[in-house]
């Protein structure tokens, strides 16, 4: 899939700056994690090791930080690092937890999996095992309530789709440059939004789609999910209709060569440019543009995924199937959608104020 090779190139550049045992750990995880996940891990480790040097716990290059330094770290020093993340880098509690999780995984490998030639662990003492995660105070209901105002509900699904297909063009018709740009891309943009709203695909999964990943008879898209797992994800008939409309104009309008297998493409830049795969940032920007004009500026690619999941749960009410559709590793992540738009609960609460004789 696209972008995998780019991620691995970036990963290799970062690993060149990190200690050898981090490189060994990343190689150990390659069979289980995607290139994007490994790259995130490497970024987190670079921040940690650079902090060790900045705190004068090591004087040479971070690449040369020895295992005995990790073994000698105190819980107070690790807590100081976590405070640095939260109060100096402005990381949210959930982000601090994610970076701590990455460090816990590395230290666990060094203590319990990796072995020297004489069958001794790399680390005999694991300070990260003593560090607790931040307690995320928000309940699922609170998170769901915050999300509800930022996603599409009810007839907004079709209104947003129609807005991209036609109404946005009408709204900006007096700006010739914007209008012509919309004319060029409206079928493509409609297909992208329709596909996310009709499947719940992640941004990276949409970006990496190739032409031959679509099964037109089964209404499925082949994607590589987190953990490098291949999965065929179902999408709606409306999404298929919009996708087919885009594919009818894709090759001629974007001047795409047959060798370019990217599903969603961008027009060539400049006279010598060539059409290219649409990037993640480009898709984010086009959604942001339409969201602001539509009157829901908080709407994003990820919120479109949430919109699909909420609608699916309301109509199907099958959490295990929704979990598979979204590619969640934990069902707890999927359970958040059971707290959005809980009309049965609202009705029950409303009935409490009605005199019993009237119920």
Which tokens go with 96?
A: 């601090």
SS3 call for 215: strand
Would you call 237 a catalytic residue per the annotation?
no
Q: Is 132 left (phi over 0), alpha (psi -120 to 50) or beta?
A: beta
Given the residues 202, 277, 303, 323, select the one marked as catalytic: 202
Given the residues 226, 261, 276, 321, select the one marked as catalytic: 226
Would you call 305 a catalytic residue per the annotation?
yes
User: Listing from the earlier edge strand, what are the strands of the sheet with 220-225?
Assistant: 214-215, 220-225, 229-234
Listed in sequence order, the residues at least 6 apart from 179 whose beta carbon sits closer than 8 Å to its beta carbon are 169, 172, 173
Strand blocks (E) in the chain? 214-215, 220-225, 229-234, 265-266, 276-277
Would you call 351 a catalytic residue per the annotation?
no
Given the residues 305, 311, 323, 339, select the one marked as catalytic: 305
Would you call 254 a catalytic residue per the annotation?
no
Inter-residue contact 234 to 338 (CB < 8 Å): no
Given the residues 63, 104, 222, 302, select the one marked as catalytic: 302
Given the residues 188, 219, 337, 339, select the one marked as catalytic: 337
Would you call 328 a catalytic residue per the annotation?
yes
Sequence length of the chain is 359
- Residue 118 is given by DSSP the state T
Would you call 176 a catalytic residue per the annotation?
no
CA angle 62, 63, 65 (to 5 degrees): 65
Q: Using CA atoms, how far apart are residues 298 and 295, in angstroms rounded to an integer?
A: 9
Q: Using CA atoms, how far apart are residues 16 and 34, in angstroms rounded to an integer?
A: 19
Active site residues: 202, 226, 302, 305, 328, 337
């Amino acid at each position: 899939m696209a972008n995998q090779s780019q991620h691995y190139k970036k990963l290799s550049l970062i690993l060149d700056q990190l200690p050898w045992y981090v490189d060994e750990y990343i190689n150990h995880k390659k069979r289980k994690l995607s290139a994007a996940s490994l790259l995130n891990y490497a970024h987190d480790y670079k921040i940690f090791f650079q902090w060790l040097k900045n705190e004068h716990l090591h004087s040479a290059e971070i690449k040369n930080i020895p295992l005995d330094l990790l073994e000698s770290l105190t819980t107070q020093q690790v807590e100081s690092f976590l405070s640095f993340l939260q109060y100096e880098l402005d990381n949210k509690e959930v982000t601090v937890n994610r970076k701590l999780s990455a460090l816990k995984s590395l230290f666990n490998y060094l203590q319990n999996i990796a072995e020297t030639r004489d069958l001794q662990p790399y680390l005999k003492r694991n300070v990260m095992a003593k560090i607790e995660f931040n307690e995320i105070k928000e309940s699922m209901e609170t998170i769901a309530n915050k999300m509800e105002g930022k996603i599409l509900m009810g007839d907004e699904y079709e209104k947003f789709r129609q807005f991209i297909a036609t109404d946005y063009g009408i709204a900006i018709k007096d700006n010739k440059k914007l209008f012509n740009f919309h004319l060029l891309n409206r079928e493509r943009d409609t297909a992208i939004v329709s596909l996310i709203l009709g499947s719940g695909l992640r941004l990276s999964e949409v970006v990496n789609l190739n032409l031959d990943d679509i099964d037109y008879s089964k209404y499925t898209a082949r994607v590589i999910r987190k953990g490098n797992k291949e999965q065929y994800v179902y999408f709606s008939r409306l999404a298929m209709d919009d996708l087919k409309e885009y594919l009818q104009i894709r090759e001629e309008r974007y001047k795409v060569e047959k060798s370019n297998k990217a599903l969603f493409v961008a027009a060539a830049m400049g006279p010598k440019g060539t059409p290219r795969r649409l990037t993640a940032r480009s898709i984010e920007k086009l959604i942001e543009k339409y969201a602001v004009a539509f009157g829901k500026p908080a709407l994003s690619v990820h919120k479109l995924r949430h919109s699909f999941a909420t609608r699916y749960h309301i109509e199907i009410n099958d959490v295990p199937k929704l979990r598979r559709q979204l590619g969640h590793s934990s069902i707890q992540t999927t359970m958040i959608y059971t707290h959005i738009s809980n009309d049965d609960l609202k009705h029950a609460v409303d009935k409490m104020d009605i005199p019993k004789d009237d119920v």
